[in-house]
Amino acid sequence: MLKIGVLVSGGGTNLQALIDAQKSGIIKSGEIVTVVSNKPDVYALERAKNAGIDAHVITKKECGSADAFDLALCNYMQEKGVDLVVLAGFLAILGENFLSVYKDRILNVHPSLIPSFCGDGFYGLKVHQAALDYGVKVTGATVHFVNEITDGGKIILQKAVEIKDDDTAETLQKRVMEEAEWQILPRAVELVLSGQVK
């Protein structure tokens, strides 16, 4: 069984999708061994504890610098024997050290169809508001490998979601999570763990 480490910053709905997928057998080539948040007191940590998964907090503030944070995160993942790192709503940029140690072994889910509405500054509701402002009729989610370019790594899976005339950023965010993110993130994790995607 390969070991999965999940990085979170908030409520952990994508983490919950991964936990559920592990229980239902969608993810069968690995298991989540640790969940690490860069913020204390977020609900994602409770989700991990409720599922009996190790929950840990590493903050930039306690590390003192971005480089020290990156190193602490990387060392912790290595201590846990993590094979694959999954970013599930993780709102911190991973540094060079982490990216080189876990090259081609870090996945992220982004709430748009890359290359639309992605890159620096596009996260959370901002992505959905940008899609609405532009007037596109279809958006969705993308799971991709993480490299040194924000949202720039190789795409693994994408799923489209229709935009409705009365959508707000909030309603669109919820639908993209339910119809796309929660579906394709677990599938992409299994594809990578089972060696079907490299």
> What is the CATH number for 78?
3.40.50.170
CA dihedral 122, 128, 133, 137 (to 10 degrees): 120
For residue 43, what are the domain limits? Answer: 2-193
pLDDT band per the 50, 70, 90 thresholds, residue 34? very high
Q: pTM of this prediction?
A: 0.95
Residue 141 lies inside a defined structural domain of this protein: yes
Active site residue 128: no
Q: Is the Cβ–Cβ distance between 107 and 83 less than 8 Å?
A: no
Residue 198 lies inside a defined structural domain of this protein: no
Interval 142-184: pLDDT, tens: 999 999 999 999 999 999 999 999 999 999 999 999 999 999 9
Residue 16 lies inside a defined structural domain of this protein: yes
Domain count for the chain: 1
**How long a stretch of residues is the chain?**
198
Residue 83 lies inside a defined structural domain of this protein: yes
